[in-house]
Structure 1
Amino acid sequence: MNRVEREAAARRLMEQTPPPVPPDLYGEVLRRGGRLLRRRRRARRLLWLLLCAAAVALTVWAATVHPWAQPPSSTTPPVTGW
Structure 2
Amino acid sequence: MSLPDRKEAEVRRLLEQRTAEPVPADLAERALAEGARLLRRRRALRTALWTGVLAGLLALAVWSLVIQPWSDPPPVTTPPAGGW
TM-score by length of 1: 0.69
C-alpha RMSD of the superposition? 3.2
| 1:19-50 superposed Cα distances (whole Å, 9 cap, x missing partner) | 44322111100001101101110111111111
Q: What's the CA shift for 1:67?
A: 1.4
Count of matched residue pairs = 77
CA distance in 2, matches of 1:14, 1:62: 74
1:42 partner SS? helix
Bigger Cα Rg: 2
* Identity among equivalent pairs (%): 38
- Unpaired segments of 5 or more residues in structure 2? none
| TM-score normalised over the length of structure 2 | 0.68
Distance of 1:37 and 1:46 partners within structure 2: 14
AA of the residue aligned to 2:63:
W
Unaligned ranges ≥5, structure 1: none
Structure 1 residues 11 and 23: alpha-carbon distance in aligned structure 2, compared to 1, 3 A threshold: farther
Match of 1:16?
15
**In the superposition, relative to structure 1, how do residues 41 and 78 fare at CA in structure 2: closer, same or farther (>3 Å)?**
same
